[in-house]
């Protein structure tokens, strides 16, 4: 997949709960594989910010942004007609050759899942959020099971699935412990996004590797070091995980195995098709 850097026009921004969906004209950039990311110029900041592709309607690239600092706030403040430099697609996305996919997302970690869900024809999904306001972002994945802290996604029945997950590090560690074959999208602070700066180096299987080129999705055989490392992400800080029962008091039961048609998928600008 050819990566490029290009000046892209902002088509609009939409609030999705406490996050912002930033929609860009695609230009000649390719959307890449689900789980890949782009480096987005953040106006007024020296370095671009890494953001996963969330949706790929025809002619567009859409990103779900959590305004947690100056760069992401600047991205959320963009207006229709503005233009920013975008570089990508970058990194390794999710492997799509799975038999019984189950998408698991936590907080802003749901960002790559709508594009992944569409590519895999809308498999079951479980999403966890730390507040009801954050959980409004679940509208991007209609039909997903949604839990709110203190209920955890791992309180749901995940057995019998091929888990593809993105979220806070404690969530990923818990999933990795229970599902050794799970594909997990990790995060680390990134400066270049293509392997040049070593800013994203993490210990994987006892070796230092660059998450921007080896990841962000790690294959099942990969094991990320759980100790203090640059891989301790802000998604960790954003999460507050503690086990109990479901938010509604009802058991969290996933839909039967198999593909579900979710015709009501969120359609920015009235259309939503991969690639
Ligand atoms: C592969 C990848 C995909 C991502 N996808 C998305 C996405 O789809 N949507 C989204 O909103 N964000 C995503 N992020 C995170 C996003 O890049 C950071 O939140 C952003 O760079 C923060 O910039 P800032 O200037 O707003 O905040 P800063 O002031 O730079 O950071 C705020 C706080 O978060 C910490 N931090 C910043 N970036 C990271 C990081 N990448 N990992 C760990 N800690 C960090 C800082 O140390 C600081 O404590 C992704 C990151 C990676 C690596
Ligand atoms: S972000 Fe520069 S090497 Fe990974």
Cβ of 47 below 6 Å from ligand 2: no
Tell me the pTM.
Answer: 0.85
Best residue among 75, 84, 189, 212 to mutate for probing ligand 1, ranked by most atoms within 8 Å of CB: 189
Q: Is residue 110 lining ligand 1, measured as CB closer than 6 Å? A: no
Measured from the Cβ of residue 58, the count of other Cβ atoms closer than 10 Å reads 11
pLDDT tens digits, residue range 2-53? Answer: 999 999 999 999 999 999 999 999 999 999 999 999 999 999 999 999 999 9
**Residue 238's pLDDT band (cuts 50, 70, 90):** very low
Considering the domain delimited by 4-91, tell me its CATH architecture: Beta Barrel (2.40)
pLDDT bin (cut points 50, 70, 90) of residue 218 is confident
Helices (H) and strands (E) in the chain, counts: 6, 14
Cβ(242)–Cβ(145) below 8 Å = no
Structure confidence at residue 273 (pLDDT)? 34
Domains of the chain, by residue range, sit at: 4-91, 101-187+233-238
Q: Is the CB of 232 under 6 A from ligand 1?
A: no
- Report the CATH architecture of 101-187+233-238: 3-Layer(aba) Sandwich (3.40)
Task: Give the nearest ligand 1 atom to 186 CA.
Answer: 1
């Amino acid at each position: 997949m050819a990566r490029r850097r290009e000046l892209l026009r902002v088509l609009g921004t939409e609030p999705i709960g406490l996050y912002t969906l930033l929609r860009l004209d695609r230009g000649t950039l390719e959307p890449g594989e689900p789980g890949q990311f782009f480096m987005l110029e953040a106006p007024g900041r020296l370095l671009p910010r890494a953001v996963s592709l969330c949706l790929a309607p025809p002619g567009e690239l859409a990103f779900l942004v959590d305004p947690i600092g100056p760069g992401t706030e600047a991205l959320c403040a963009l207006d229709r007609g503005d233009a920013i430099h975008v570089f990508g697609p970058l990194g390794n996305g999710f492997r799509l050759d799975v038999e019984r996919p189950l998408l698991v997302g936590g907080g802003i970690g749901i960002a790559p899942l709508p594009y992944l869900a569409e590519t895999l024809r809308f498999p079951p999904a479980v999403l966890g959020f730390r507040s009801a306001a954050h959980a409004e972002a679940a509208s991007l994945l209609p039909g997903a099971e949604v839990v709110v802290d203190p209920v955890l996604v791992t309180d749901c029945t995940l057995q019998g699935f091929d888990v593809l997950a993105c979220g806070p590090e404690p969530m990923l560690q818990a999933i990795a412990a229970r599902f050794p074959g799970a594909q997990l999208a990790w995060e680390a602070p990134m400066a270049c996004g293509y392997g040049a700066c070593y800013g994203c180096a993490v210990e994987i299987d006892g070796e230092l590797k660059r998450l921007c080129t080896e990841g962000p999705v790690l294959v099942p055989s990969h094991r990320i070091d759980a100790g203090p490392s640059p891989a301790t992400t802000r998604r960790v800080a954003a999460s507050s995980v503690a086990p109990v029962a479901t938010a509604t008091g009802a058991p969290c039961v996933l839909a039967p195995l198999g593909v579900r048609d979710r015709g009501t998928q969120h359609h920015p600008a009235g259309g939503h098709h991969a690639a």
